[in-house]
Chain A
Amino acid sequence: MNKQVYRTFKLRFLIVSCLLATVVYGQEFQYEGKYQMGTYLGQARFGYDLVEKDTVLQGPFGLQRLDVSALLGEKDRSFDFTGYFTNGRPTGSWNFKFGEYATDSSGKIVGYQYHVNVNGIQRSAKGKMIDGSPDGLWSFSTKQIEGSQIQDTLFLSEFNFDKGVPQQNFVITNTRGTLIGRLLRNGTAHDTWTFFAEDDNTMESWYFDNGRLLKIEQQTNTLTEVLDIFGDKVAKTKTIDFDEGFMALIALYRPSMTSFFSDTSFVNKLLLENQRQYQSINTLFNSIGNADLRPNFQVSVPYFPLSAEALLHLKRIDTIVSRSSKISSEILNSTQVNLLKRSDKEAELLFQTTKAISSNYIQPLEALTRLHQMKVVAYLPKKLLIKRLFPNGKPTTTLTIPVAQNPGQEVTGPGATKYDFTPNSIQALSDMATYADSYLDSITVVLNKKLFKDQRKQELIKLEEQLIDQANELTQLIDTTKSGMRATYKKVLRHVGDTSDRLLSGYAEMTSGSEKITRAKSLSTCLEDLKTLATTIVSLEEKATTVDETYTDAVWNPFMANLMEEAVKKRLTTAYHNILIPYFLEQVRLRLDCENANALALLFESAFERMLVLREMETSKLERKLKREEDPTVVLRLFELENLKSQN
């Protein structure tokens, strides 16, 4: 390799390397302007890289919105987010402020600035992130502002994180009281979490032992409730997130807790509110980057591992139930079915069966799919799960349907004997889903058939009404234009009317059947065509006048010294008036039927249009050929209309 070649190679290598570097590492850009983060639209300023056409946030980030005129008007929803991104992940200090302010219109001038007092709510969140996870202290607060001063703290939560894992003690406060809890280094709940009410009379304590919830105790005034949650006999345990799934699990073990959680428990309320606060910021982060900001404390629960087969069945149940649920609600909410069941006893039975399928099979299975989505199915013994899903006992394949105050009619779906729902297994539930689904399908088929029949009847009635309307319109058209019209035109018009009458009588004689609806449809089209034809014939006199007027020139007569109308291209007009139109009328009289009505109308229209076109064209040759020509087919050919003729 000589020196020259080597140098060229080196240069090329350098250029290619630079290009590659740009592609791999992206380019840095700065953006300043309108930007949306989640549902927050404001003025933004940030840096970003383009990596494979993706925008990756990089460096300081700021998004603000402040509308003074809105503040002075009614209310301003302002916000101010600042922080830092590294490769699209939030890193370093972050500060979120959300304000909902109104002004009381009192203010003063300080220096060269207006100071205006505001009232409202300020929500804030601040803390440190490391590679998209919380690290260090995170605090969330909601404050009530009156006259630009903090009036009340509505909510406050403070957690310490170590690379995303919550540590040590935490505090969550609202206007009712304060929850203090303890967490182990790995984030598991430990020891007693206690809620102290402001009024000192109430205390709620949750007792944990290394993540395992032992009991919940609530002291309202003098009443103390002690609830043992999972019991003692637990073979296996598993550590899971302390989230809504866990709460649901508690409620499944202790059904009485459902109302406790929703109505009474202070701890639950504070934890839920805390979770919402974390979620709202996490959603914002994830709308433009990647982050995992959540309280993330862990609890340990009983574990009943699911077999691979059971997991597959659960997945199947999800799919089938979502489909069945849709079908059943379609049937139950269909106005057509609701109308039909009033007059059709079988439809009524099917409707009620659908209702029973929905409540007996689908709704419990939907509850199961919800548990599956919360990933708690494996933390319940099967027997308990089934007991909870079917509090009134597991249904069989036979349903008892109450019809017209009778005690009930027993019905079964397709393949009822194949299924057995008695085992306490996921497979039995999967079978139930399949059975419910095929049952609904069979109902749909029958109902559709019934609806279709009903629809067809309705359609035919509508069609016949339309036919009568159309026939009346045609008769009216013919009757109103009869006076003052040329006898030949009248005669042909009458023939069109007679044709319509004849066709309608033919239809009326048909026995009802599926052909009748087809015939009604085609007859409707036919009557429309006949009307078009009649309209065309009615317009013939007007058309003749138009043709004559079109084929007129104003000529200066030197002897009279005035302008006179002179008919021009008389051979064309003569052929039109004396040969074509009479020929077309004759065709209508001799050959009119549904198939050619439209074509015949088209023939009149086309000849007329052709006349208008020929007026402007050089026609001396055509005029010569038309001399003494009396054969309409030849004239049609000369007028270049024979294609239309052969079509009809």
Chain B
Amino acid sequence: MKHTHKLLLGIVLLLFTVNFGLGQEGEVLPSESVFKDPKTRVWFNSYGNIRISKRLFWDAQTHFRFKETESTPFIGQIAQIYNRHAIGYIYSKKVNFSLGGVLRINFNTDESSTDRNVVPEWRIWHQYQFAQPLYSAMIYHRIRIEHRWTQGFAENSEYIFRNRWRYMFRAKIPLNSHKLKPKTLYVSPESELIMQSGKEVVGSVMEDLRLTATLGYILTPRLTIAAGPMFSHGQTLANPGEFNQNWTLRFHVYFSPDIRRVKNKLPAIHFND
């Protein structure tokens, strides 16, 4: 737990020392913040957590993210296919770390655009997760740091490099049981603040603030499904005075197979013995 506290403190300090610049070059800050019309999005997310040894697991996430377009409101068209992979290290039952890469395929959803339809985006990411039991519920702190290389849809556009600083707080509260166990319906309020920094980031440090309420159901110890709406908003990279707003409907599947041989599974739970 000590580690948890130190790390949290570090992140908070970092957030406050980020340079709050006055805006992107060439863009004029509006006299007051402009909130764009909310867009709707639908995300289908799969989270795999595949145990490969006593302490290591393969974190495999594939997300299909749809964004509304003018011709297809609400669900829209595919905007991103998102492959996030990492090797995780189980420090204890409550603490784990991951390090890996992301390949995100971005699709151009601007129907009027004549630029490229598909561009890749690369990331290196590492993550620190801490869990705490609280009465019958569990609360989670997640710090995720991403080093991100993106490019626009325009032909020959350069990769820009940014760092993302993310902190997520989440709770999972069982509804029909005294603890999180199979056949339990739970509700999960969640908020994540995503800050960014980098040469290209001038002023727009708050990339996204996500507020979510999810309803989940634990089918088995190895399979959980969840869904819920998310409201998010953050400064546009082009102008810190402008804010994007999104309403996203998210569907999640969590699965955690264990591909170890039976004899290696035992003991499955005693990390520190």
Contacts and interface: CB of A to CB of B under 8 A. Distances in A.
Interface in B138-183: 138, 140, 172, 179-182
B180 A562 contact: yes
A560 interface: yes
Contacts of A558: 49, 51, 57, 88, 90, 96, 256
A537 B131 CA distance: 45
A614 to B, nearest CB: 14
Nearest to B255: A559
Contacts of A564: 180-182, 218, 221
B57 to A, nearest CB: 6
A561 B94 contact: yes
Interface string A552-592: 01111111111111100000000000000000000000000
B117 interface: no
Contact of A565 (B88, B182, B222, B256): B182
A553 B129 CA distance: 25
Interface in A528-570: 553-566
A562 B172 CA distance: 12
Given A561-B140, A565-B221, A554 B96 contact: no
B268 interface: yes
Interface in B80-125: 88, 90, 93-94, 96
Contact of B220 (A554, A561, A562, A566): A566
Given A566-B220, A566-B221, A561 B269 contact: no
B224 interface: yes
B182 A561 contact: no
A559 B181 contact: no
A559 B138 contact: no
Given A553-B268, A555-B221, A566-B221, A560 B138 contact: yes
Interface residue SS majority, chain A: strand
B218 A555 contact: no
Nearest to B220: A566
Contact of B179 (A555, A556, A561, A562): A562
B254 to A, nearest CB: 5
Interface residues of A, number: 14
A557 B254 CA distance: 10
B133 interface: yes
A554 B140 contact: no
A566 B57 CA distance: 19
A153 B220 CA distance: 107
A564 B258 CA distance: 14
Interface string B219-233: 011101000000000
A554 to B, nearest CB: 5
B49 A559 contact: yes
Interface string A119-145: 000000000000000000000000000
Interface in A203-246: none
Contacts of A556: 90, 93, 268-269
Contacts of A562: 93, 131, 133, 138, 179-180
A559 B268 contact: no
Given A565-B182, A565-B221, A560 B172 contact: yes
Contacts of B258: 555
Given A556-B93, A566-B220, A566-B221, A561 B131 contact: yes
A555 to B, nearest CB: 4
Interface string B229-273: 000000000000000000000000010101000000000110000
B96 to A, nearest CB: 7
A462 B88 CA distance: 76
B181 A565 contact: yes
Nearest to A566: B221
Given A554-B269, A556-B268, A561 B93 contact: yes
Contact of A555 (B47, B133, B268): B268
A558 B93 CA distance: 8
A479 to B, nearest CB: 35
A166 to B, nearest CB: 96
A559 B269 contact: no
Contacts of A559: 47, 49, 224, 254, 256
Contacts of B218: 557, 560, 564
A562 B49 CA distance: 14
B272 to A, nearest CB: 13
Contacts of B224: 557, 559-560
Interface string A295-324: 000000000000000000000000000000
A566 B221 CA distance: 6
Contacts of B222: 555, 557, 566
Nearest to A618: B262
B138 A561 contact: yes
- Most A CB within 10 A of own CB, among B88, B94, B133, B222: B222
A560 B180 contact: yes
A565 B269 CA distance: 11
A557 B220 CA distance: 10
A552 to B, nearest CB: 10
Interface string B198-226: 00000000000000000000101110100
A557 B256 contact: yes
Contacts of B94: 561
Nearest to A564: B221
Interface in B42-57: 47, 49, 51, 57
B91 to A, nearest CB: 11
Contacts of A554: 268-269
19 contacts: A553-B268, A555-B221, A555-B258, A555-B268, A557-B218, A557-B256, A558-B90, A559-B224, A559-B254, A561-B93, A561-B129, A561-B131, A561-B138, A561-B140, A562-B180, A564-B182, A564-B221, A565-B181, A566-B182
Interface of A: 553-566
Q: Which 10 A-B pairs have the closest CB atoms?
A: A561-B131, A564-B221, A558-B49, A555-B221, A566-B221, A559-B254, A560-B180, A554-B269, A557-B221, A558-B256
